[in-house]
Structure 1
Amino acid sequence: MIHADPVNSLLLGNYARFLKDVEGDVARAQESCERAIVANPGDGGALALYAGLVWETSRDADRADAYYTRAVQAAPDDCYVLGSYGSFLWDAEEDDEHDGHDGDHQQQLPPFPGAAAQPPSITAAS
């Protein structure tokens, strides 16, 4: 199908996912994603998949974040894009903590709207 339509970003993105998930060929998956992004720079799914591949292969948080940001701008309502970005942010923060950065520069947010920023202590409940 790709030979018949070599600039179809949906086909290229799906093939990239197949290469990554089934074949385990991350290098070819990245190439297919790059082709998908060139074919359609606004393909949020391809951008998010590529960002994930960048993070997985190089742990370059800034570069991956830039691609995720583009993906979210291109597809702000796409649950795959948003979920992938959220997962990346979680992983990147954990990597940052393991590398000796304590993350004090970020504000502690509650787990959901209306929740307390810090759970009450056990002694407060007794």
Structure 2
Amino acid sequence: MPTMQAATSTMNLAFSPEGLDGFDDDSAGAFDPCNGLKLPDALRRMTHVELPGFVVDFIETWPTALQAAVQAVIWENFTRDARVPITFAWTPAYDYSITVYDVVDTDVSQGGITVLFTSRYPTDEHPLRQFSAR
């Protein structure tokens, strides 16, 4: 759990309203799914916040479809006229999943995106890993 708390805390800082302002064009462009970079590589290009290496290493073990989905959520937010903060949350589970909530700004409240992801604990190897093609 401390690993995931460190990961989500750092990600939340990076994608807070202030954090979003810290992305230069190269760092933001790294999340464009069409540029050939995968999510872990895009995260490594962030210049204003550095994720601990073990966090990026753990993200590299996720199923690639989930990595691509999170990357697409981040990129879509960068392409908006009015960016909203992205909050990341994690809960332990048997398998991997993500759920995305997207609420736009209104006259009475600020919008935001929440990405809830589930996985095994980082040190808990999935029992089917030995059969994986990766």
Q: TM-score, normalised to structure 1's length? A: 0.25
Higher strand fraction (1 or 2): 2
Higher helix fraction (1 or 2): 1
Using CA pairs below 8 Å that are at least 6 residues apart, which structure has the higher relative contact order? 2
Q: Look at both structures and tell me which one has the larger radius of gyration over its CA atoms.
A: 1
Q: TM-score, normalised to structure 2's length? A: 0.24
